[in-house]
Amino acid sequence: MAEPPVEYIRSITRQYAKLGYKPYGWVYNTDAPPWQPLRKPLKQCRVALVASGGIYRHGQTAFHSKDDTSLRLIPTDVRTEDLRTSHFAYDQTDARKDPNVVFPIDTLRGLVQEGFIGGLTEHAITFMGGIYSSRRVREETAPAITERLAAEHADLALLVPV
């Protein structure tokens, strides 16, 4: 029988208390989220992949573990075998075996080939989601991503957290 989803907020809050950390400042957004209707059919849309699993490619600087708010631009014609992960807060075993589990680049390239989506932006955008300061995410990472999505002429953004 199906079990209910894992309650991560409750279990992490309990774990922090046990380790003697101050409580983590979970983000609760109570306002209605902004809404932009899709303006054209999927098969005409240019899709931007945005992933927070610490993906970089061989030759790029990796991520660090102390509130790293930087971004990487991954060319969407990247060779899958050049993809790497650098993240301290999830088990990277499967992501390193097949990056598509957190960075579905081959999946999306396949759907472009099928004509299911129109295409991909020139670059995917990646970062390392283990940033403890939600203020820095709001003030640094998020605006940089938004700016880049506009520069890439994305019709829609697909966000893949871990």
Partner 1 sequence: MTMSSALDITRAVNPPRAVFNDFPLGHTAGKPLDRRLQREIMVETLSAFETMRTPGSIKTLPFEWSPDHSWKHAGAGEGDNRTDRTEEPTYQTEDDKTAAAEGKLAEECIACSKWSPDAGARRSAG
- Residues 17-46 touching partner 1, rule: CB under 8 A, are 19, 21, 26-36, 38, 41-42, 45
Q: Nearest 5 degrees, angle CA 69-CA 63-CA 98?
A: 120
Give residue for tokens 């970062």.
127
Q: Which is nearer to partner 1, 3 or 23 (CB)?
A: 3
CB-count burial class (<10 Å; 0-12, 13-18, 19+) for 14: exposed
**Sites for partner 1 among residues 83-122 (CB under 8 A):** 84-86, 88-98, 100-104, 106-108, 110-111, 116-117
* 129 touches partner 1 by CB under 8 A: no
To partner 1, the closest distance from the beta carbon of 49 in angstroms equals 10
**Sites for partner 1 among residues 62-81 (CB under 8 A):** 62-75
To partner 1, the closest distance from the beta carbon of 41 in angstroms equals 8
How many residues touch partner 1 (CB under 8 A)? 87
CB 112 within 8 A of CB 79: no
Instruction: Count the neighbouring beta carbons within 10 Å of the beta carbon of residue 21.
Output: 10
Longest distance between any two alpha carbons in the chain, whole Å: 52
To partner 1, the closest distance from the beta carbon of 55 in angstroms equals 10
